[in-house]
Structure 1
Amino acid sequence: MYRIFVVFLVLILPITPVMADEPCQENGDCVVVGEWDISIAFGYGNKTNPITDYDDIPLYVIPSIAYYGESWFFDNFNFGYTLTEQESFTINLATSYSDERAFFYRWDPSNIFLPQSANVDAHTDLPTIGGFGIQDVSQPIVLNELESRNFTVYGGAELFWYGRFGVLKLAAAHDLLNVHNGQEVNVSWNYSLAISDWRFDFTLKSEWKSSEVIDYYYGVRASENAYWSEEYQPDSGWSSAVELTTRYSLSARWDLLIAARYTQLADEIIDSPIINEDYSSSYFVGAAYRF
C-alpha cells in the first residue's frame, strides 16, 4: 500500500512550470555552471544492513564533488549529457550506480557519497509457503559464505520537471557492464523549503528493479545453499523511500546538517533467504563545509 501511495502521489501532484535557469544563491541551493562544487560533511551516522550476518554501515565523512558545464556534467563520479534544457524541464543521458552492492561492501560509492536525490536541483544552478526471508520458519536457514556481488554502472535517460510544488524526476537505466543485464526505473519527487537560514529537502521515491537485478544481488548461489538457489527465483519489484535533509547555514561555507532516509524493500527482496529485515534506514548528523 505504501509503495502504491508514493507512486500515486508523485504522478498526480499538480506541477506548475517555473524558470529552470534562475541564478544560484550563495546558500548551497545549486551548482554554478562552469564551476566545480566541492563539499565535505563530518559527523556521525549509521545505515542499517538488511543482509543476514552483515554489520550496519557507519557514516563519518561524506564528500560531494560536482561540475556542470553547458551540456556535460560530472556528479559524484556519475557522468551525463544534457539533451535539452527548457524552462520547465530538462532531459539528460546519465550514468548511475545502484545502492544494492552497498550492503555487501563497506566502501561502495553509495556508502561514501550523498544520495543522488539530495542533488536533484543541482543542474538548475532509501522455506514457507508464500515467502521466505524474514518469515518465521521451523528451521533456520544455513548459508555458506556469500560470493562476491560485483559493482556495475547503469546508463540511461532522466527527466527533471520543475514545478512550483517541487521537482519530479523520471529515470530509466540499464546495466552497462553486463554484470547482470538488469534494468532500473526511478520515480521521485523532491520539495525544497527555505526559511531564513534553514533549508529543508523532502523526497519521496519509488524504484523498480528488474528480476535480473534482484536475483543477482539478493539471490542465492549454488555454493551458498544448493536448495535455496533453486527455490528462490525472484520477479521484478518496487522499493520505496522517504528522505529528509535539513541544513542550517552558519556562514557562507559552513552548514549544520541532519539527514535521514527510510527505505521499504520490495516484497521480492524481502523474500530472499539472505534478508532478515524488510527495510533499511540511515541517518547522519554533522557539519558540512563547502569549498
Structure 2
Amino acid sequence: MKKLAVLLLTALILPFASLANDAAMCDENSDCIAVGRWDLGIALGYGVKSNPVKNYEDIPIYLAPTIAYYGDKWFFDNGNLGYTLAEQEKFTINLTTSFSADSAYFYRWDPSNIFIAGTNQLNVGATPVARTVRTFGVEAEPVINDLEDRNFTLLGGVEAFIYTRAGIINLSVAHDLFDVHSGMEAKLKWLYNIAIAQWKFELAAVADWKSEDVVNYYYGVRPSESVYWSEKFQAASATNLGLELTTQYVINEHWELIFLARYSELADEIVASPLVNEKNTSTFFVGAAYRF
C-alpha cells in the first residue's frame, strides 16, 4: 500500500510515440497511424532521465524522434518490428520486438535512450577505483572495480491490447532473442486518453516484471568487479511499478507542445544491488514537437 500511495502521488511520462490501436479507437482522443503511411516526427526541448546506477550520471534529453510505419500486418515503431496476428474491435494481438530499459543505464547509444527516453545523450561518470577502504584499522566492505560490459540485446515476444471504456490494457511477454542473459520480461500497462479542446492527456500505470536472469545480468556483480559483492548479492526476479503522464497542446496539423513525466519505483530486489543507489527513477521532458 505504501508503494501504491507513492505512485499515485507522483507525476510521470509516456514517450509521445504513437500507439497503433484498433480502427474503432482512432478518434480525436488518440493518436493513430494510418495504414501504409510513415509517421515521422521530432521533438526539441529539455528534460532529464535519472540514472539509478552508481557513478553514472543522469541522462539529459534534448531530442526525441518518432519513426513509425504500419502496413496491413507488419509494422515498424521506433526501432521495434512487429506482426499483427489478430485484430478485432475489442483487442489486438501482435508478435513484436522490444528493447531492454535496463541496458540504457550503461550505454550512451542504447536504443532505449534514443526512442523510448527520447535521447541519445548519456554522460557516463567515472567508475569506482579498485581499492579497499580502512577506517581506524578496520577493513570496510570493498568497493567495486570497473564494471564489465552489460551488452545490448533485443527482446522478442507477444503483446495484446484490450480496448475497454475504462481505457486500454496492454499485456506483453518477451524473451532475450540474442541469448545475452536468457531472461524474460513481462509487462502489464493501463492507458487512458482524455481530449479537451486542443489539449490531449494520456495517463498510464505500469507493472514491469523481470526474471532473475535479467536482474542478475544488469545489476549483479561479477567476480572481476568485486569478489565480495559477487558472493554477497544474490539476484532474484523483480517487479517495478510506475505511473506516466503525457500532455500535448495541439497548435496545428504539424506543431504541438508536449510535457512528459515518468516515475518508476524500483523493486526491492534491484535496490538491494550494490550497483544501485536510488530507489526510483524519473524522467521529464518539456518541448515542442513537429510531425512531418
TM-score band by shorter chain is 0.7 to 0.9
1:79 to 78, 81, 92: 81
SS in 1 for 2:23: coil
1:34 matched to which residue of 2?
A: 36
Does 2:240 align with 1:243?
no
How many angstroms apart in 1 are the aligned matches of 2:276 and 2:116?
24
What is the one-letter code of the residue matched to 1:56? Answer: D
Note the C-alpha offset of 1:105: 1.3
Point out 4+ residue stretches in structure 1 off by more than 4 angstroms.
2-6, 23-28, 138-141
SS in 2 for 1:112: helix
Alignment of 1:210-249 (within 5 A): 210-249=211-250
Between 1:81-90 and 1:28-37, the stretch displaced more is 28-37
Note the C-alpha offset of 1:139: 4.4
2:283 matched to which residue of 1?
A: 282
How many angstroms apart in 1 are the aligned matches of 2:211 and 2:4?
17
Instruction: List gaps (5 residues or longer) in structure 1.
Output: 7-18, 117-137
Question: RMSD in angstroms over aligned alpha carbons?
Answer: 2.1
How many angstroms apart in 2 are the aligned matches of 1:226 and 1:198?
54
1:57 to 44, 56, 59: 59
2:146 matched to which residue of 1?
A: 145
What is the one-letter code of the residue matched to 1:261? Answer: R
Note the C-alpha offset of 1:113: 1.1
Contact 2:24 2:89 in 1 (8 A): no
SS in 1 for 2:224: coil
After superposition, the Cα gap between the structure-2 partners of 1:5 and 1:160, relative to the gap in structure 1 and judged at 3 Å, is farther
1:9 matched to which residue of 2?
A: none
SS in 2 for 1:22: helix
2:91 matched to which residue of 1?
A: 89
How many angstroms apart in 1 are the aligned matches of 2:230 and 2:84?
42
Note the C-alpha offset of 1:106: 2.1
2:100 matched to which residue of 1?
A: 98
Note the C-alpha offset of 1:114: 3.3
How many angstroms apart in 1 are the aligned matches of 2:267 and 2:142?
21
How many angstroms apart in 2 are the aligned matches of 1:265 and 1:45?
21
How many angstroms apart in 2 are the aligned matches of 1:242 and 1:217?
23
How many angstroms apart in 1 are the aligned matches of 2:115 and 2:218?
21
1:127 matched to which residue of 2?
A: none
SS in 2 for 1:212: helix
After superposition, the Cα gap between the structure-2 partners of 1:3 and 1:153, relative to the gap in structure 1 and judged at 3 Å, is farther
How many angstroms apart in 1 are the aligned matches of 2:264 and 2:173?
19
Contact 1:3 1:239 in 2 (8 A): no
How many angstroms apart in 1 are the aligned matches of 2:55 and 2:31?
39
Contact 1:3 1:206 in 2 (8 A): no
Note the C-alpha offset of 1:26: 7.6
Q: Please give the per-residue CA displacement for 1:14-73, whole angstroms capped at 9, x wherever unaligned.
A: xxxxx9323845887111111000111000000111111110000000001111111111
Instruction: List gaps (5 residues or longer) in structure 2.
Output: 7-20, 119-138
SS in 2 for 1:240: strand
Note the C-alpha offset of 1:109: 1.0
Q: Please give the per-residue CA displacement for 1:238-278, whole angstroms capped at 9, x wherever unaligned.
A: 10111101000011100100000001011110000010001
Identity %: 53
After superposition, the Cα gap between the structure-2 partners of 1:60 and 1:197, relative to the gap in structure 1 and judged at 3 Å, is same
After superposition, the Cα gap between the structure-2 partners of 1:200 and 1:23, relative to the gap in structure 1 and judged at 3 Å, is closer
Aligned length: 258
After superposition, the Cα gap between the structure-2 partners of 1:188 and 1:245, relative to the gap in structure 1 and judged at 3 Å, is same
Contact 1:26 1:252 in 2 (8 A): no
SS in 1 for 2:101: coil
How many angstroms apart in 2 are the aligned matches of 1:87 and 1:24?
11
What is the one-letter code of the residue matched to 1:156? Answer: G
1:255 matched to which residue of 2?
A: 256
How many angstroms apart in 2 are the aligned matches of 1:23 and 1:207?
25
After superposition, the Cα gap between the structure-2 partners of 1:115 and 1:163, relative to the gap in structure 1 and judged at 3 Å, is farther
Contact 1:248 1:255 in 2 (8 A): yes
2:110 matched to which residue of 1?
A: 108
SS in 2 for 1:102: helix
How many angstroms apart in 2 are the aligned matches of 1:245 and 1:259?
5
